[in-house]
A = this chain, B = another copy of it.
Amino acid sequence: MDNLHQCIEALNNLDFNGLYGEDFLLTWKKSSDEIAAVFAAADALRALREMGKPTKIFQSGLGVSLFRDNSTRTRFSFASACNLLGLTVQDLDEGKSQLAHGETVRETANMISFMADVIGIRDDMFIGRGNSYMREVSSAVKQGQLDGVLEQCPTLVNLQCDLDHPTQSLADILHLIHEYGSLQNLRGKKIAMTWAYSPSYGKPLSVPQGIIALATRLGMEVVLAHPKGYEVMPEIEALAATQAKESGGSFHKTYSLEEAFANAHIVYPKSWAPFAAMQQRTALFDEGNNLALEALERELLQTNALHKDWECSEELMKLTSEGRALYMHCLPADISNVSCNEGEVAASVFERNRVSLYKEASNKPYIIAAMILLAKVSKPQTLLQQWAESDAFRWHK
């Protein structure tokens, strides 16, 4: 229970009131205290879970999930977080393009929210779309409550958009906090966020963008590496540079995987699609030009194949700090000779870090639950303390 007390104490020293009643869409719209509060609340919820204490904020209520891209682990993380807090998940199944137009978004957002306390959205396929869709839904339900249509206003949680993947990047950094002992200890650590080769096509940019946008705020030495042409969105790069200056960390770009790995404490090699190609893809999708979309896909796969040497190999790992950097990934990884012939990471590197990777992933439900807790409960410390002292148990063993 020591850990729980530390978490509550940490919350007592943070100003996170700005999270109350608000959506969680982008990490860079939240203050450093608010980010730290999410970490503390996530660890507090995990500590209570370990103690077998129920942590239901809600006696009833719906958590609506709206996935506009396939997902297993994010779906289960959202369902787990809702269950932890007492909400029941109701999925909204829809085609990718069905809710595209303004009037319809506003209407559907209200129609699914009569009993909704939370809406989790994943919409990461098209540049310039996912985040703006989320803001459209958010504004619709806020207006719905003002108009007396909704008895309560559901909080939005970004489960991955075109810009950011906050539940992933926060789960990743929480893993680093656990590995290094504290948020403070991350200062000065070198993290290499790098592209890696994958035989599959068009993975979103939100993971690398989320990592560089978050790690640069923490005083870390952040290096972004990729082959020429595989740029991420320029505004996120600019944001990373500015934040690094403010935090006393650094942000560098390189086209050399070796340079990125050199003396890195943490490496995060992961495939993504070039920003320019993603923009082209959105435009072709808007035109409904399926032939050109297929041609673009073939072209991108061919270009990818020129960079099969961008693999997180044992040789590269030797370049890292003490030859044993922490290997991170959002999973599932394309593992060479396991899930594909040639992929993002050598099997031995992955296997050596497997338990660590699973722990990294296991933070996500708690991060989502922490976002909901801080958006819905004005004095979470009091509630956390009550739960800890209660003699209720989640499970009659």
Contacts and interface: CB of A to CB of B under 8 A. Distances in A.
A151 interface: yes
Contact of A88 (B88, B152, B335, B397): B88
Nearest to A361: B111
A359 B148 contact: yes
Contacts of A182: none
A339 B105 CA distance: 11
A79 to B, nearest CB: 5
B50 A394 contact: no
Given A104-B332, A151-B49, A358-B144, A86 B60 contact: yes
Contact of A73 (B89, B111, B392): B111
A61 B394 contact: yes
Contact of A54 (B59, B115, B332): B59
Contacts of A364: 114
Contact of A358 (B56, B76, B107): B107
Contacts of A83: 60-62, 88, 90, 115
Interface of A: 46, 49-50, 54-62, 64, 72-73, 76-77, 79-80, 83-84, 86, 88-90, 92, 94, 101, 103-104, 107-108, 110-112, 114-115, 117, 144, 147-152, 331-332, 335, 338-339, 355, 358-359, 361-362, 364-365, 376-378, 383, 392-397
Contacts of A144: 358
B339 A104 contact: yes
A378 B396 CA distance: 9
13 contacts: A46-B151, A56-B60, A57-B395, A60-B83, A60-B84, A61-B395, A72-B108, A76-B114, A83-B90, A111-B361, A147-B355, A149-B359, A377-B397
Nearest to A73: B111
Contacts of A148: 355, 359
A246 to B, nearest CB: 34
A90 B101 contact: no
A48 to B, nearest CB: 10
Contacts of A80: 62, 114-115
Contacts of A115: 79-80, 83-84, 365
A332 B147 contact: no
Contact of A50 (B58, B94, B151, B377): B151
A326 B79 CA distance: 41
A64 to B, nearest CB: 8
Contacts of A361: 110-111, 149
Contact of A107 (B50, B54, B86, B331): B331
A151 to B, nearest CB: 5
Contacts of A394: 58-61
A99 to B, nearest CB: 10
Contacts of A392: 59
Contacts of A338: 101, 103
A335 to B, nearest CB: 7
Given A62-B79, A92-B72, A378 B362 contact: no
A111 B332 CA distance: 10
